[in-house]
Amino acid sequence: MHPVQLIAAAIDPADPDRPVLDIATAIGVCAVTGIECATVPRKDLFGKSFTDGAALAAPDSDRVSVEAYTALRYKWERMSSWICDGTMFRRLDRVGVRDAVFSQLPMRPWAAYATTSYKKHGALRAPINSGSKRVWLFESRIVDCSNMELVMDWWARLNAALRLGFGRSILETLDCPIFVMSKVGVREWMAFETWARPRKNTALYAFLCYLLPSQEELRHEYA
């Protein structure tokens, strides 16, 4: 199974943004999925500027499946964060991504993509999840959230540091200005930095930093 299959199946036929296929189809091998099926010319989906051939299952094929065409022409596949299980395609903002990460798993195979750039085709690289597997695509990085005990431990530590007064950018870079360190506490920063330093360059650490509450959310929380 491939994410384009889930997305194509989930797009509501009444959705005005659902791509209309007005191209003759023929049996061929889909460059995206590697499956032999009903296809259209690859050039009708990918233009000359397409450079992500490494994400294709059959990069030498000049055909793409109807499912791939439908999913990758659907603008919200690229221009939003999303989660899809083949029955629904749900667009997510950052809070929605956070809620989905910590919510109950979908019962069906699913894929999910979180982005801040809105430029890449998440469906080309997002892993398919089933069972207890919880793997997200965050920009171009694979983030394994399957060990929720570990995820919750890191999440608690990052939230505690944020609420002490170390902002998101400080937590992301571990570059703490002296005035912040002096205001919040040198001992507190050193304890957090010692824990965070060996984890800083991991995809999970970057993903959880992205999911941290905004200053606006914190203000509402304190109110």
Where is average pLDDT lowest: 74-78, 94-98, 102-106, 143-147? 102-106
Where is average pLDDT lowest: 22-26, 86-90, 194-198, 218-222? 218-222
Where is average pLDDT lowest: 105-109, 149-153, 171-175? 105-109
- 146 secondary structure, DSSP code: -
CA-closest candidate to residue 1, choices 109, 91, 75, 93: 109
HSE of 177 in the Cβ direction (CA atoms, 13 Å)?
Answer: 8
Domain ranges of the chain: 3-144, 148-222
CA distances from 127 to 28, 124, 131, 151, 159 (A): 24, 9, 13, 18, 27
Q: What are the pLDDT digits (tens) for 104-118?
A: 888 899 999 999 998
Could you give the percent of the chain with pLDDT greater than 70?
99
Give me the mean pLDDT over the 17-21 stretch.
Answer: 94
Residue type, 145: C
Where is average pLDDT lowest: 48-57, 165-174, 175-184, 202-211? 48-57
Residue 103 — pLDDT band, cuts 50, 70, 90? very high
Where is average pLDDT lowest: 7-16, 46-55, 94-103? 46-55
Give me the mean pLDDT over the 124-141 stretch.
Answer: 96
Give me the mean pLDDT over the 167-176 stretch.
Answer: 96
